[in-house]
Structure 1
Amino acid sequence: MPDSPSSSSLLTVVIAFGANVVVAVAKTIAAVLTGSASMVAEAAHSWADAGNEVFLLQAERSASRPRDSAHPGGYGREAYVWSLFAAVGLFTAGAVVSITHGVSELGATDRGADYAVAYVVLAVSFVFEGFSFVQSYRQARRGADERSIGTLSHVFRTSNPTLRAVFFEDAAALIGLLIAFLGLLLHELTGNAVYDALGSILVGVLLAVVALVLIDRNRRFLLGEQGSDQATQAVLAALLAHPEVETVTYLHLEYVGPERIYVVAAVDLVGNDRESDVAADLVAIGGALEADPHVAEAILTLSRPGATPLVPH
């Protein structure tokens, strides 16, 4: 079926939230003490990430609600709504603030501040962010191994927006720390504050790229992302395994939430049963598919005469 159940997603978000709060406080103190534009950008980055984790926690909570009469397809797509809010927040509170502050500091003069505290904060932050990234990487790697694809490819394609957001935000945090370090170091070595300002701008550009990628992926899933080929083949095999099913001529899979799909299929049944028996068989086969926790709903109908059967590959 689609992605494996992400039971560790909540833990991944909680770890990321805790790391970001601690790091954000430390970066803010360092930014105040040094006046560094790069540290201001990093502080804004971490506060934005911490705020985004709140949205992601809400995404996990909302998407797990069972379907009801008002939402027969379930609440899974709400995860993409909250994840979209988080991505927009990263863009506005992280990217825009960092770029704007960096641009305003381009003409600043060297303040001659002692950046030792900034270096210490960056080093400690790298440890915290690295721990959070390892957690999200392990979760992504497990899913990638199950699907026999690359880890980065899985992160891009997974229907789990929480995993994707935490993975990219943690990766961006580590890269941002390196950019800030280089900006501070070049500033200190040359006495030219433009390097510090450029560090802030580059951090902002990095966050903007990550935010736009996340916005686009959530937009696609909200519009209705088609199920992967691997998931399609798994559902096709499950249908053909039923003794009542002779052929499958149409199969459509669409994600309706993290690791949840909606299935529409046209099948040709064995024999020539009465219409009432056929209806009962279709309902029974659909119910068997829905027994899988990945399948939100399965709708089956009869194939039209002469339709070409689908062949597993």
Structure 2
Amino acid sequence: MAQEQRGGSFLTVLVAFAANLAVALAKSVAALLTGSASMVAEAAHSWADTGNEIFLLIAERRSGKRPDDQHPFGYGRDVYVWSLFAAVGLFTVGAVVSIQHGISELTADEPATDSLVAYVVIGFSFILEGTSFLRSVRQLRGTAARAEQDVLEHVLQTSDPTVRAVFFEDAAALIGLVLAAAGIALHQITGSAVWDAAGSVAIGVLLAVVAVVLIQLNRRFLIGQSPSPRVVRAVLRLLADQQDVASVSYLHLEYVGPARVFVVAAVDLVGDAPEHEIASRLARLGRSLEQDEHVVEAVLTLSEPGAPVLGVADGPLSARLPG
């Protein structure tokens, strides 16, 4: 299940990369032909997105590397590092360039030229960006359904930063196209280039907001994000389903990559086995938990006498962690 999710994320990023590259080239040509500040901002936006997709593709590949002696939990957190680079790139290349160019064009007084070219490119870009956006929404809808969340709630909470980045970047791209079209149209109608420049600034502000949101979400996982109560309940259920476990008194979970957790738990074992058997039983329990593809490593110890027992939700509950 998790491997399928990672493969789906890689394909989603690859589709976004191809779409952004084609759009960036088209917008650059339109910006040269029209001299529109909004089109320059959109071109910068798309080139930033294209570069970001390269970071995200690297993130997908590196995060899938198997654990080794130097990285016993694997390389899952690498995906957050490269996704952070992508978010910073979106801010510096997309937002800063767009705002700076827009401000410099506020005092320009040039008539709108070749606006038809700009509109054609905007329409072409909307189709490609929309296709990429719909693909990311379809993937998120599937994982959100398994997590019993709506799409927006899931995209803000998912441990998969690549599909989240594609979702936000494509959403920002579609909104940016509307802002660019509005700026160019108002330039045509009023004859004032201020509207076109204002469109460029608005696009830059939009990109800055998206970049800050993505930076914050990636930072949260890099410093050690604990899973949601739903995931905690799932792992408790997974522990409770083990034949040797009578109860669980302590549980620590931490994301070490997309849909990957490190588990530390204190359990009370069934029966009253001698000490030399307990270590062996705990080790077997840990290996059993690690059979779940979402558990990178499980460290178990005995509960202290009289320690409060953590409750397990009644009813069927999937032990999988879809995000």
Query: Given the superposition, is the C-alpha separation of residues 308 and 4 from structure 1 closer, same or farther in structure 2, using an over 3 Å criterion?
Result: farther
Cα distance per residue 1:241-298 (max 9 Å; x no partner): 1121111001111100011100010001111111121111111111111011111111
One-letter code aligned to 1:312:
V
Structure 2 CA distance for partners of 1:4 and 1:213, relative to 1, 3 Å: farther
Alignment match, 1:82: 82
Change (3 A) 1:3 1:179: farther
Identity of aligned residues (%): 59
Q: Is the 8 A contact 1:4 1:143 kept in 2?
A: no
Output the CA distance in 2 between the equivalents of 1:3 and 1:14: 17
For 1:39 and 1:221, locate their aligned partners in 2 and report how far apart those are by CA, in whole Å: 35
Q: Please report the RMSD computed on the Cα atoms of aligned residues, expressed in angstroms.
A: 1.3
Amino acid across the alignment from 1:220 = R
Alignment partners' CA distance in 2, 1:25 and 1:5: 30
Q: Is 1:216 aligned with 2:216?
A: yes
Most deviating of 111-120 and 52-61: 111-120
Q: Which residue identity does 1:115 align to in structure 2?
A: S
For the residues of structure 2 that align with 1:38 and 1:122, how far apart are their CA atoms?
Answer: 11
Asked whether the equivalents of residues 42 and 203 of structure 1 are also in contact (C-alpha less than 8 Å), the reply is yes
Give the Å deviation of 1:6.
Answer: 3.3
CA distance in 1, matches of 2:284, 2:112: 76
1:258 paired residue number: 258
Residue 143 of structure 2 aligns with an amino acid whose one-letter code is: G
On the 8 A contact 1:236/1:312 being kept in 2, the answer is: yes
Output the CA distance in 2 between the equivalents of 1:2 and 1:127. 30
1:118 corresponds in structure 2 to: 118
Preserved CA contact (<8 Å) 1:186 1:196: yes
- State the aligned residue count: 313
Distance in 2 of aligned mates of 1:270 and 1:243: 8
Residue 12 of structure 1 is matched in structure 2 by: 12
Q: Where do 4+ consecutive residues of structure 1 move more than 2 Å?
A: 1-7
What corresponds to 1:247 in structure 2?
247
Q: Does 1:301 align with 2:316?
A: no
Query: What residue in structure 2 maps to residue 104 of structure 1?
Result: 104
TM-score, with length taken from structure 2? 0.95
Do the aligned partners of 1:3 and 1:259 also contact (CA within 8 Å) in 2? no
Note if contact 2:6-2:60 (Cα within 8 Å) is conserved in structure 1.
no
Counterparts of 1:165-180 in structure 2, within 5 Å, are 165-180=165-180
Q: Which runs of 5+ in 2 are unaligned?
A: 314-323
More off after superposition, 77-86 vs 275-284: 275-284
Displacement of 1:3 in angstroms is 11
Higher mean alpha-carbon deviation, 105-114 vs 61-70, is at 105-114
Letter in 1 for 2:37: A
The answer (yes or no) to whether the contact 1:41–1:101 under 8 Å persists in 2 is: yes
Query: Corresponding residue for 2:68?
Result: 68
Query: In 1, Cα distance between the equivalents of 2:211 and 2:14?
Result: 20
What is the alpha-carbon distance in structure 2 between the residues aligned to residue 209 and residue 280 of structure 1?
52
Change (3 A) 1:183 1:90: same
- Per the normalisation by structure 1, the TM-score is 0.98
Name the CA distance, whole Å, in 2 between partners of 1:20 and 1:233. Answer: 40
2:136 is matched by which residue type in structure 1? S
